[in-house]
A and B are shown apart, each in its own frame.
Chain A
Amino acid sequence: MPLSNRHLLGLEGMPAEDIQLVLDTAASFREVLDRPIKKVPTLQGKTIVNLFLENSTRTRLSFELAERRLSADVLGFVSSGSSISKGESLKDTARNIEAMKIDMVVMRHHASGAAHYLSTVIESNVINAGDGGHEHPTQALLDLYTIREKFKRIKGLRVCIVGDVLHSRVARSNIHGLLTMGAVVSVCGPATMIPREVERLGVQVFNHIDDVIPRADVLNVLRVQLERDAGRFFPSLREYHNYYGITNKRLEKSPNPVTIMHPGPINRDVELSSDVADSEHSVILQQVLNGVAVRMAVLYLLGTRN
């Protein structure tokens, strides 16, 4: 059974069966990454444009790798030095690229809703690789995959998202995906960084990290987004680290080992202490590896959906 939507714009409203299908397909693709020849001919003849209008290293590389491993033709596009910097609108840029006969667009954009808008003006399949503070669906899918790989289930697991929830598209996509899959979701961070009325989604709010650690199976630790003027929301990085930084000293108070996730890139010794980032309970590098398999699954499911 194919996915119910021909675009992947966000996890809000995505049915559990669709998420399940992506995770199961990704599990099958994981094996391809261990082969001597890590390439399959599946999307031969399809052309995919990576429209990255905001800085990104790992997501762009991960998508590009996934596309190449499926034998698609890949076009890269970054905004600096492009027609966008000459003032061309997104609609015109996208339509011009599409006029060159392409099949899919993977887009990162600084404006919330940009991926949805794009899907209404072009015919190609659109995959949202992060739109402003809105959603980052493939990141949440790879987080779900990594949780399922480690615990063999998602339902009933207690997952806390820690940090700047307010500005985080990773948090938003994770909250929707985790709730759909039956996890018990909480958020923890400075009150200035917790969205108002987030409880109405069915999420518990903690303001003290030491309260949540003993009650969590997984901490998904968000990056302090220094480039987004995070300093306006708390007094200093040192203070942030003292109140919300995840350290071994804090984790030792939990009766059970807590799995540590982070979407990267890490600010070491700000949101995560170095020893925690590199500890046996950290699955941060598995997340990166799984990201390629999850993106291959999404590209396969959308690219072969007729």
Chain B
Amino acid sequence: MDREALDRTLTRLAHEILERNKGASNIAIVGIRTRGEYLAKRIARKIEEIENVKLNIGSLDITLYRDDLLGKLEQPQFRGTDILFDVTGKDIILIDDVLYTGRTIRSALDELIDLGRPRSIQLAVLVDRGHRELPIKADYVGKNVSTSIAESIRVHLKEVDDEDEILLMDVEEGS
């Protein structure tokens, strides 16, 4: 998927979110760090243009809620959650780049619920690659990609990677 295709996909997701929520009056956008944060900002900008509104946007760092924190080889850097609005009563659109095992989303749901009581939480992802380990499903999907576990999906965004692209790669043995 290249830059134009990515942009069209995000536009479609923005419209789907608006259609399902009958407008933008009660929604707030929350991206999961790192790349979900930038996708969230892009989708939010599109919704703001379509509806001519100003949205609440936040980002979530799920590090403290990970279930593999005490077993991981590499210590993740904790950059912090940045949600400056009250989530209680809002329809939260949670955004991430790739939906895979579902464990990241589980962590994000737990953290969001510790921040308040949203009216609903809906999940939007750019890529759903399957292989779920938890009963979690996205409400909005940019692209379904069937993968094998030996493959890896990389989303690159120009805010962090200088380029907009989605790559399907073979994982090298043992890594």
Contacts and interface: CB of A to CB of B under 8 A. Distances in A.
A305 B74 CA distance: 8
A97 B144 CA distance: 53
Contacts of B69: 42, 304
Interface in B100-151: 110-111, 114-116
Interface stretch (B47-55, B77-85, B91-99, B165-173): B77-85
A31 B73 contact: no
Nearest to A71: B64
B122 to A, nearest CB: 22
A216 to B, nearest CB: 31
B140 to A, nearest CB: 27
Interface string B3-19: 00000000000000000
Given A35-B115, A37-B115, A41-B65, A28 B79 contact: yes
B22 interface: no
Nearest to B76: A304
A37 B114 contact: yes
Contact of A29 (B70, B72, B80): B80
A303 B115 CA distance: 24
A38 to B, nearest CB: 9
Interface residues of A, number: 26
Nearest to A44: B70
B interface, by DSSP: helix, strand, loop or mixed?
loop
A31 B114 contact: no
B116 A45 contact: no
Contacts of A251: none
A45 B114 contact: no
A32 B73 CA distance: 25
Contacts of A25: 77-78
A300 B69 CA distance: 10
10 contacts: A2-B75, A30-B80, A35-B114, A35-B115, A39-B114, A41-B65, A42-B63, A300-B78, A301-B75, A304-B69
Interface of A: 1-2, 24-25, 27-32, 35-37, 39-42, 45-46, 70, 300-301, 303-306
Interface of B: 61, 63-65, 69-73, 75, 77-82, 110-111, 114-116
